Amino acid sequence: MAIRGGDTARSVPSGGKYQMTVDEFKNWLMKFDVDKDGRISRKELRRAVRSSGGLFSGWKSGRGMVEADADGSGFIDEQEIDCLLDFAETSMGFKLYY
């Protein structure tokens, strides 16, 4: 299975996690910024979770927003994406390299 949604498609290795660098993850995530406002909404995050093969995408995207949306705006902006990295590894099936 490969991640859908952009140029950075990755196959799931035998360990069951998508492997990419933090920068690749950020670029991949921003491909879901449908309105191109530079922020990720809960709906856009839900699409990202779904595209990574995630079950319970509604619940997971809500959990990701709680973890990453530090200012409570309802969006994950460029400064908050780093807050989403742990969530990506624990709940979205990613192994990120720094």
CB 23, CB 46: distance < 8 Å: no
- Show Cβ contacts of residue 34 under 8 Å, excluding neighbours closer than 6 positions: 44, 47
pLDDT of 4 strictly over 80: no
Q: How far apart are CA 42 and CA 25, in angstroms?
A: 17
CB 63, CB 30: distance < 8 Å: no
Q: 35-83: per-residue pLDDT in tens?
A: 999 999 999 999 998 888 776 778 889 999 999 999 999 999 989 999 9
Q: pLDDT at position 52, please?
A: 83
Domain ranges across the chain: 40-97
Q: 81-98: per-residue pLDDT in tens?
A: 999 998 899 888 899 998
Tell me the pTM: 0.79
